[in-house]
Each structure stands twice: as C-alpha cells, then as structure tokens.
Chain A
Amino acid sequence: MKRVNDIFGKDLKVLNIGLEQFCIDLKEQDVTAIQMDWRPPSGGDKEAADLLSALLG
C-alpha cells in the first residue's frame, strides 16, 4: 500500500496548472516543473463541457 511518506525525501517533479508564477518560482529553485497550457474546457461553457465529459465517459 502506497503511503504519503513515500514522497518525503524524493525529488519533486511538478506539473503546474494555472498561475504561471508558481512554475517560474520552482524552476528558479532548480525544481523540475512543467507548465500546462490550460484552457477552460469547451471555451468556458460549463454546460457543454459537462455534456462532452458525459459523452466521453
């Protein structure tokens, strides 16, 4: 069984979704980090996104 403690002492490899500054800060500290080019699903139309998500299962 995986435990929370498994992450302690390991190198963090971070995916950042949203505020880019968080990714910039991590890179400045030599932490492996990658920024996702995130856009609201269906151009921000929540109803369409929910429908799409339901269709795609």
Chain B
Amino acid sequence: MIATKQLSEFEGVTDAVILMGSDLNKEVLTRTGLLTPESEAAVCEDLIIAVKAETQEAIDKAMAAVDGLLNQHGSGDDGEEYMPKSFDSAMKAVTGLNFCIISVPGKYAKGEAMKALKNDMHVLLFSDNVTKEEELELKTYARDNGLLLMGPDCGTAMINNVPLGFANKVRKGNIGMVGAAGTGMQEVMVLIHKLGGGISQAIGTGGRDLSLEIGGITMLQGIEALNNDPETKVIVVISKPPAEEISDKILTYIKENVKKPTVINFIGGDKSKVEAAGKEAASTLEEAAIKAVKLAEVPCCSKYSRENDDELTALAAEQAKLIKPGQKYLRGLYSGGTLCYESMLVLRDYIGDVYSNTPLNKKMKLADANVMQENSCVDYGDDKFTVGRAHPMIDTTLREEEFVKEIEKEDVAVILLDVVIGYGTHKDPAGVFAKKIKQAKEKMEKKGIYIPIICYICGTEEDPQNWAFQKATLEEAGAIVVSSNAKASKLAGMIMKAL
C-alpha cells in the first residue's frame, strides 16, 4: 500500500494501484476504471500494477520506478532487517512479544488475531471486514484470558504512552480513555493535550463493540482496567450511541463500580442517563476534553488558542457576505468517521440533517456514496471505500479527486474538510490539499466565485507532520483552520444559516 501511494504521487499520474490478482481486487479495478484485459486475466499469485496518467511519458517514468518502490524497506538504511514469516520465528527473534498489531485483509484477520491471543499478546485489530461472529469469538477468548482485543476496525490506541495505529503524540498524564470511535478518541486525546492535560492509557474497542451481539466486552474490560490503574485519575468514555440495552449495561457497571470521576460522550446520545449514573455527560468531543481536563485538575494553562462564540459569529458573517446567491450547499469530505458523525450532529442545529453514506437519519442515505447531493457529508474511511484501497488518512487520492469535483460546482457554498495527522498517516496531508485548494481557488476566482474551505487538523505539534506546520500550509493556501472539529462544523453551520 505504501508503494501504491508513492506511485500515485508521481507527476502526471492520476490513479495507480499495485495489488494481487484476486477476484476482489479485480472488482476494485473495475470500479476505478483500471481493469484491462491483461489484469482481467491475472490469477491470485499475480501482482497487478495499474497506472493511469496524463501522458505516456508519465506512465513510463512511474513504471520505471516500480521495482524500486516494491523492493524498498520502510525501515530505511537497514534494508536487510529480518522479517519472520510465522509467529514461532517472530517469538524466537524477539523474546517477550506482548502486543500485536494486525492490518491484513479482513478475511485473514481473525486467524492471525487468534494466533496472537494464543501466544499471549494483546491485539490491536486494525483490519475491517471481519464478521461479528469472528469478533465475538476473539473477544470472548481475549476476555477469558485477561487480554485486550481492540477492534476489529480499531484505528487507534495508546498503551503506556506509545501511539498505536493512527495515533497522535500526546503528553503522558492521568486521563484514561476507552472508546469505540477511532477519530473520536484521537480528537479528545489531541484536545486534552492542547488544554495542558495528558493521557495514561487509551483503549480502543472497535466500532461494533457496543452492539447487542458483542455486548461491550472490550469496553467493560477497558473501564475495569482504567478503574484499577493507579495512574488514571479520570476516565473518559467515547462512543457513538450504543444499543440501548448495552448503554444501560455500561452505565450500570460504571455506577456500581467506578468511583473515579468519569466523562461519558455517547456522541449524540441521551445525556440524562449518564447524569443519572452520577457521571459527567458531554455533547461534543471538545466538551468531553474540556470536562476531563477540569476533573483531572490539570495545573498548567494552554498555549493553544481557541475561538470563542463571538469570534466564530463574526467570522461567519464576514464569510457569508462573500458567497453569491446561487451558492446554496455544504459539502463535507471526511477521512475520520467519528469526525464526520460529530459534524453532522453539530450541523443539524443549523441546517437540519444532511445527506451522507453514514447518515444520522436513514432517510438521508446517499444513493451512491460517490455522488453528493444538496448538503452532504461523506466519510471516505467507511468500509466500502477501503476494500482494496488504503484508508484515506494514508492514501489521499480519492478524497482529493472528490474535493476537486465538489469545489468546482457552482452551487456549492461551503466545504468542510478534516485533516488527520499523526503516526500511521500520510506524511503531508495539508501539503496535498493545499495544492488542490490553491488550484481550485484560482479557477473559481476567475468565475467570480468564492467558497470558504473550513479545515480542522486533528493533531499536535509533536506529531511527525507537526500541527503548526500543517496549519500554516493550509492557511497559506487560503483555507480557514479552526481549533476543533465541533467548532469547524459550527462555523460552517453558521455561514450556511446566514445565507
């Protein structure tokens, strides 16, 4: 996938993939218009390299580099590093392996995860497309053996201050988190860091953990572990609204067992039940972070500025004046599922429900996730977009294409964009989008059209991409960068309402 991403970034290359010739991958090629008679004839053992470019010269240059890309070793100059082919050899090579990260295709994930558990390793199962039955089997085994099975589809975790998967570099501290919402957890961790607080442990559960079938196995294990952890003073629980029965189960467990201050954000869920359990409820991810920092009695002040409501109101009024009468719609393009979800909740207060591939209200489901209509927010990290393609936080190509398509529509009034940085993600997402923003702005200016592009960057200055650098890059390209996802959505809603 790294080679695919690098191939896509060659000058003049519009699309590129490198994948095995399985039937599933051939479906991906058909959908992306890259299937040729040669690749159609490929079998499972074949490697397909498909490149679409503006010129033959660009194709030739990209193809000439393929060998080098495929043979590179990400670890840099020590390309000869030993890579075991089995668990047995891995455990001989490194004694005491206690953690396993798995991101193989979904249909192979359960087998590898079970091997890891049986070898006494905690697991972060990044892979998606794992069945509920497989998830239940893995989690039951893990729980019975005192291990964590974080996932499937678990994007982030932080154990002992080590960022795992897609994760940001944040301060070590006394706030412990358990969450069934990947970018939701990242957002709260980042905001806690920016408010001067720090994280003790952050345990991901995977998005389906709080379903009726799974019953919150990992969530309950996580809460119990944080409750028993002397380093954790405050607990934060983050999830999209769980099944009611499971929500009651979690809240009852917390009420009966957890004496530590706890902040719960069932994003968009019923706050009264949380309050009835004697705990703090939060409406947005930002509010959860603020409440947690307050409860943790963080002594320090923050160097990060945050916009207040008056500033947002003034900015919205100023932006709305620049928008022409024919521009009517909002388009949100997200790589973070929970960030998309939270935005739709915030926007609801201003413009009602919006269309989406993951809508709040089923009636607003987009018939085709590739075609936005009226006010729409699309989560490009949804399973359907990631079959045979890297997650949009790694491979920005699809979202770039959609961004260009949407910004050139004359009835679009506001664009919302999330940029998630940190470990595991694209090396310079702001740079990629800044280039597209500049080009689009120039093009639209010639037509006399101005479209505010509101960005939120989930990350810190300690991340490899550096939040401050990413922010400056986007602002220089003409984007508006706001201090939280909730505020970005609020600003967009305010502008839309002012039209």
Q: When chains A and B are docked, how far (Å) is the Cα of A13 from the Cα of B159?
A: 11
B83 to chain A, nearest CB (A): 4
Bitwise interface map of A from 19 to 50 toward B, beta carbon under 8 Å scored 1, else 0: 11111111111011011111111011110000
Given known A-B contacts A7-B122, A13-B99, A25 and B163 have beta carbons under 8 A apart: yes
**Contact (A4, B147) CB under 8 Å given A18-B102, A25-B423:** yes
* Contact A24–B225 (Cβ < 8 Å): no
Contact B424 A38 (CB under 8 A): no
Contacting pair A12 B159 (CB below 8 A): yes
- Interface size for A (C-beta < 8 A) is 44
**Looking at chain B's contact residues, is the secondary structure mostly helix, strand, loop, or mixed?**
loop
Interface contact A17-B101, CB-CB below 8 Å: yes
Q: Is B361 an interface residue (CB 8 A)?
A: no
Minimal beta-carbon separation of A12 from chain B (angstroms): 5
B231: CB under 8 A from chain A?
yes
Q: B124 to nearest A CB, angstroms?
A: 9
Q: Are A13 and B103 in contact (CB under 8 A)?
A: no
Q: Contact check: which of B84, B94, B201 meets A13 at CB < 8 Å?
A: B94
Query: Separation in Å of the A35 CB from the closest CB of chain B?
Result: 5
B55 within 8 A of A: no
Query: With A6-B146, A22-B424 in contact, do A15 and B74 touch (Cβ < 8 Å)?
Result: no
A24 to B122, CA, bound (A): 19
Q: Are A18 and B103 in contact (CB under 8 A)?
A: yes
A21 & B424 in contact (Cβ 8 Å cutoff): yes
The closest CB in chain A to the CB of B103 belongs to A18
Q: Chain B residues near A34 (CB, 8 Å)?
A: 82-84, 90, 93-94, 97
A-B pairs, 3 with minimum CB distance: A18-B103, A2-B146, A37-B83
Chain A positions near chain B (C-beta within 8 angstroms): 1-29, 31-32, 34-41, 43-46, 53
7 contacts between A and B (CB under 8 A): A4-B147, A17-B104, A22-B164, A35-B75, A35-B83, A36-B85, A40-B104
